[in-house]
Amino acid sequence: MLIELRGIHKTYDNGQPLHVLKGIDLGIDQGEFVSIMGASGSGKSTLLNILGILDNYDEGEYWLDGKLIKNLSETEAAHYRNCLVGFVFQSFNLINFKTAVENVELPLYYQGVSRKKRNELAMHFLEHFGLADWATHYPNELSGGQKQRVAIARALITQPRILLADEPTGALDSKTSVEVMNLLTELNRTEKVTIIVVTHESGVANCTDKIIHIKDGVIGETTMNEQHKASVFGTATIMK
C-alpha cells in the first residue's frame, strides 16, 4: 500500500470542539486513480490536507510510502511535501509575479537543484503539456485551463509519489474541465501517477477508477468505477 490510514481522528477546536474526522481507515495503492466525494462539511478537505501533510491529526496512523507521517516538525513536513506530494488546487495558486516556467521550477529550487537544470526540466514539462509558447507569460496572461496545466506541471516536476487535486475543475468551464480531467487520466494511464481527486461533482468523480464517499467524518461506500458509469448524467459529461 502506498497510502495507509488507520483510525484517523481530527477535531478542530475553535471555541467549540468540532469532530471532523471520526476514524478514517483507507488504503490506496500505487497507480490508483481515486476520487473522494462528499458534501461540504463532510470532512473531505480536512482528509486531503492530512494526506498532503498540510495538517496534522489527533489520533491514528498515516503511512505514506512506508513512512509514518506523524508529529513532524515544520521543516520535515516541508521536506516530505516537497518530495512526496504534488498539489493541484481549485484556484490554481500560482505565484502572480513569476512566469509560468518560474512557477513550475519553484519546487526544484527548494530541493537545491541548480538554476540551469531546473529551468531545463521545467521547460520540458511545459512542452509536454503544450505550454512551451507560454513559458514566459505571467499567470494573469493565461486562461484558466492553461493555469491549471501549469499548476499540474508544477505539482509533477519533483516526480512525487501522489498527486492531490482539490476540486481541480472548480474554477473551470465544462469544456476545460473535460480537458483537465482527460489530462489527469492520461497521466494516470501512461505515467502511472497515483492521483487522488477531491470533488463534490459526480461527473468529475466518474472520470476516476474508484470513488470513495465520505459523510459526516466517516467513509461510506467505496464504488469501483472501472467502467466509468457512475455518473447519473451519462458517461461522457462532466456536470456543470
Partner 1 sequence: MKDLFEEIWESIKRNKLRTALTGFAVAWGIFMLIVLLGAGNGLMNAFMNQGDRFATNTMAVYGGVTSKPANGYQVGRGIELNDRDITITQSALFADYVDKVSPVLYNGPYTLVFKSQHLSTYLCACNPDLLDMNKIELLFGRFINRNDITMQRKTIVLAAAHARELLNGGEDYASLLGKTVTGGGITWLVVGVYKTDRSAQRVEDYVPISTIQTLHNKRNMVGQINFSFHGLTTREENEQFEKTYRAALNRAHKAAPDDESSIWIWNRFTQNMQMDKGTHFIRRALWILGIFTLVGGIVGVSNIMLITVKERTREFGIRKAIGASPWEIMKLILAESVSITALFGYIGMFLGMVACEVMKMTVGQSSVEFFGETVQLFVNPTVGLGISVGVTILLVIAGTLAGISPAMKAARIRPIEALNET
Q: Which residues bind partner 1 (CB under 8 A)?
A: 49, 52, 54-55, 74-75, 78-79, 81-83, 87, 89, 91, 93-97, 106-107, 109-111, 115, 154-155, 158
Q: Please report how close the Cβ of residue 74 comes to partner 1 at its closest, in angstroms.
A: 5
Q: With respect to partner 1, which residue has the nearer C-beta, 166 or 209?
A: 166
Q: With respect to partner 1, which residue has the nearer C-beta, 63 or 89?
A: 89
How far is residue 225 from each of residues 80, 195, 235, measured CA to CA in Å? 30, 15, 11
Cα separation of 240 and 222, whole Å?
A: 23
Q: Please report how close the Cβ of residue 175 comes to partner 1 at its closest, in angstroms.
A: 25
Cα separation of 35 and 227, whole Å?
A: 15
Q: With respect to partner 1, which residue has the nearer C-beta, 36 or 94?
A: 94
Q: Please report how close the Cβ of residue 237 comes to partner 1 at its closest, in angstroms.
A: 29
Q: Please report how close the Cβ of residue 201 comes to partner 1 at its closest, in angstroms.
A: 20
Q: Please report how close the Cβ of residue 78 comes to partner 1 at its closest, in angstroms.
A: 4
Which residue(s) pair with 163 in the sheet?
86, 195
Q: With respect to partner 1, which residue has the nearer C-beta, 79 or 137?
A: 79
Nearest of 121, 124, 130, 123 to residue 148 by alpha carbon:
130
Helix (H) / strand (E) containing 195? strand 194-199
Cα separation of 26 and 21, whole Å?
A: 12
Mutual angle of helices 100-109 and 115-128, in 10-degree steps: 130
Q: With respect to partner 1, which residue has the nearer C-beta, 111 or 222?
A: 111
